[in-house]
Chain A
Amino acid sequence: MEDFIVAAVKTVIAFALLFTVVLILVWAERRIVAFMQNRLGPTRAGPLGILQTLADGLKLIFKESMTPDRVEVWLYLAAPIMALVPALLIFLVVPIGAPITIGGTEYTLQVTDLNVGVLYVLAMSSMAVYAIALAGWSSGSKYPLIGSVRSAAQMISYEAAMGLALVPVIMFNGTTSLAGIVEAQGATYFGFLPAWNIVLLPSFVVFVIAMFAETNRAPFDLVEAEQEIVGGFHTEYSGFRFALFFLAEYINLFNMSALTVVFFFGGWQGPVFGPTVVQWILPVIYFFAKTFAIVFLFIWVRGTLPRLRYDQLMSFGWKRLIPVSLAWIILAMIAVGIRRFGLPWA
């Protein structure tokens, strides 16, 4: 019973955290992209416009949710929920801080520590593609259909590379649990360099590129290319259903940044000192600081790079990323083998 209560409280906190983060994220993205374009962005709602997302969300709730004539009603209504649920579920396995001990009981700062965390994360992020594909197909009009076909093709070009990019990380840390991966990065080289997985640089590069494709962000936002296909899969959505898609997209953006931090930047690891409470809080601050740095990378890329053409995306995925990650897996395999068993001739 106590476990159940703890899990429920953690889940509620995790979801509340996600929604709060999304409010900040959308605002931050609009402000930063605006600054890169010599504009100011939203400034009117709240101090520095920080309540702009809240205002937009409230507006969308009160808007009429249209259901066009030719939609497949059940799929059409289910798709926004299918987009949101996996996005929320991914975050449940992300450790946002060091485990804390209260009254002799240890509480981990993640809702649950799955021992197959990496597989779970990959599975859930693939689930989001179903929502997009079904939303586009059930809308019953051509632009959403093009968008959903694109999302399916994009998925098969990048999912493989993304999974392969994580194989060296798993080999290196010897675990697929996210908490375990973070723990394994706690050591230091030469006493001061943090032993983060960023040393697996090719993995990191491939993962970040695949991450952009996975979250449908610029320069791989072909699925919702406003200029070509009028918003793609969400063309026929309005009101709160539209808001759900956007919520899911930004939660995914945050999740993917958090996962990058967990896999490559040591999660919540960092120098910890001071009284116990500070020792609890500092890792959380490190985690969020690192995550928002990756989020900034997302926004920076969006402000800089133009959208890739469709065939460029696919050939890049299949002809570059997958061979590179395969070659890197073999190299990493050799390196890990040498580290464990020594040189073959020694």
Chain B
Amino acid sequence: MVNRRANRLRMVWAAVWVALLGCTPIADAADGHRVGFSSVIASGVPVSGMLASGGITDNSVSFPSWDKIFRALTLRDYNTRIVVIGATLLGAAAGVIGTFAYLRKRAMLGDALSHATLPGIAIAFMVVGHKNLGWLLFGAAVSGTLGVLAVIGMRRVSRIREDAAIGIVLSVFFGIGMVLFSIIQQMNTGGESGLQSFIYGKAAAMLHRDAMLIGGTAFAVIACCAVMFKEFRLVCFDQTFASSMGRPVFWIDVLMMGLVVLTTVTGLQAVGLIMIVALLIIPAAAARFWTDSLLLMTVIAGGIGAFSGWMGSVLSALLPRLPTGAIIVISTGVVFAFSMIFSPHRGVLAGVYRRWSLSHRVAHQNLLRALAECEEDLAAEVAIPIADVHAKRFWSRRHLDRLIARGSRLGLVSQIGPNTLKLTETGRRESRRILRNHRLWELYLIRYADIAPSHVDRDADEIEHVLAGDVVEELERELEQESTIPPSPHKADESRSKGVPA
């Protein structure tokens, strides 16, 4: 009984994950057979043990038990711990160096770079004859750098644009790599199957010393960024100024791109070359939503990258058949989407709220001004027939009713009969202030911008709601106005010479 419930829970958990991953792992699971590398995990978790749980067939993703999840999350197994720490550090390093690449507008160069590593990996494997991580990464670094140089070179010698150059280099290098990979498979030397993890990423394929290498590199990259922070900031913001000051912009760029190469290459095995560029761009882009300070942005991007690396490697340890790269990228994507929507200053919701609150303010200020004009017409502080207000504006009756309801909630107007309303004391003060701003702006437009009095009402309408106190003071000085409400300039024919005291 208990067992069945646990099983059902596991199925729910599975459904959540499949939904989250958009079913990607299933499609990729066919590769799972060839990626026999998981047996090297050496985490004491035999693959067959994982498959045994639940009624899930051999060819799909298998889901671990609660115990295993708990052990992975708390880093109980030594090897899981090494892998998770390595991937987390890698994510942090990618986030940090990615921030500078992003601000230098070089992030997509990282994509050309990562795809261009593939031929190097293949050639290194052919030459060395077995999977030696050091040599593979060396090959990756060499051909990746060649790819970057190809992009830069194409831009130098021809008029081709950077995006096109990146697209060309990316696809051609990747194509060469795929051809070499198929040759390797035909050679059938054995042991080549693990090479796939460089394309799709597989954190669990890391050996102890691989993880140490990745962790060490990541640490070095972060340290380098910390030391070069000032120079990187200068070059990213204003390279012309930097070189006018005698900073060797070219070499600073080389160092920056070198760190990107280092991060990309060491991260290949965990994230895969297709998706590692996301780890460079997305944390930086997400972090930008939360801060206006470069230092904080770097730290936040590093944090997001670290979180994603941790998430990806833990899941990879639990579910060896899931492509780690995809999980890491999805984690960053979720963080990015959250940031874009909910960021308090630059977020989408914040923008919607700002527009919404401005339009509300405009609407109720318009009501108050209409009321002030009615009082002016009646030349008395008396109850105003709603019909009069209606005549001032093209409002529907329903809209007007809503405005009045909100005005009375705010204590600015009070409806004293079915068809009459009155300004409260606060409402009157506010309404006169608004009317006065409107008139001042109208006068200013007529006098200084040569706008015809008949057109001025509409123009002033847009502006009066956003006039700040100091601008109003300046207007007063320009127009030499006392603190009265000037008469309406476009109603001059109605001979209303006396101003209403404010």
Real complex partners, A and B? Answer: no
